[in-house]
Amino acid sequence: MMSPKEKISQIISRELLQMIEKGKYLPGEKLPTEMELASQFGVSRVPIREALSVLRASGVITSRQGGGSYVEESTNTALLQGIKVESNDVQSIKFLFEMRKAVEPEAAYLAAIRRTPEELEEMKLILHQLEKESVEEGKSGIEADIDFHRSIVRATHNPIMIQTIENLSVLYEKVLSITLQPNTELAHKRRNVFREHQRIVEAIELEEPELARVQCSIHLRNAEKKLGLFIKDFI
């Protein structure tokens, strides 16, 4: 039974994922239009658009020039369906993301103002390691990802922010293992996630705090969309 609080778009995104897994829509095949899907599910185009956005962020579908959404050629839906989140972890993960959305964009903002040349160099070295592990070697790059976000928080020179992130390292790693696991099968998604990190560093290097905040928010929003595909009521 569906939770009354669960968003319609989440229900639709999971049902579309199941259709793709069962072969109703094959790799490379174009999905029905938003209007057709809205008619099929008996809803407006708004939740359809949100559901497609979740699937796109998770690497299940892609948009192509000329319009329309297509099933990714290399989509591993079995892996996506196999990701399980224990019920007692869900609330903690929700709380963690609430904290991340409140703290990390502000940390990126402050890092763009306060970072030292040495701290910027550290971010770049970690970014290079993340590229090596995730883009070149096809790994999840969890440790490098965590180190990357820690390096930004350290550059705020705010001891409370720094300690907060350190205290949450175990849960942080658990959440990243969920959001990054599907990317091991999708090279273009690994590149996209790397590029999101790269844009944050570029804004910090340019000492553009507002841009750094925006780029960090975009990165977190995309990660949140992936979790919404696996966890009811998450988004």
pLDDT tens digits, 51-76: 888 787 766 788 877 778 888 776 55
Higher pLDDT, 138 or 24: 24
Q: Predicted confidence band at 123 (pLDDT cuts at 50, 70, 90)?
A: very high
Q: Predicted confidence band at 28 (pLDDT cuts at 50, 70, 90)?
A: confident
Count of domains forming the chain: 2
For all residues of the chain together, what is the average pLDDT?
A: 81
Q: Contact 229/55 with Cβ under 8 angstroms?
A: yes
> What's the CATH number where 205 sits?
1.20.120.530
Within-domain flag for 235: no
Say whether both 24 and 45 belong to one domain.
yes
pLDDT beyond 80 at 184: no
> What's the CATH number where 16 sits?
1.10.10.10
- Give the mean model confidence (pLDDT) for residues 168-178: 75
Whole-prediction pTM = 0.65
How many CB atoms within 10 Å of residue 133?
A: 19
Say whether both 64 and 133 belong to one domain.
no
pLDDT beyond 50 at 4: no
Amino acid, single-letter form, for residue 67: G
**How much is the pLDDT for 80?**
45
Say whether both 132 and 224 belong to one domain.
yes
Q: C-alpha dihedral over 40, 46, 51, 54, to 10 degrees? A: 160
Higher pLDDT, 198 or 29: 198
Higher pLDDT, 181 or 64: 64
Say whether both 40 and 94 belong to one domain.
no
**How much is the pLDDT for 58?**
65
pLDDT tens digits, 86-102: 445 677 778 888 888 99
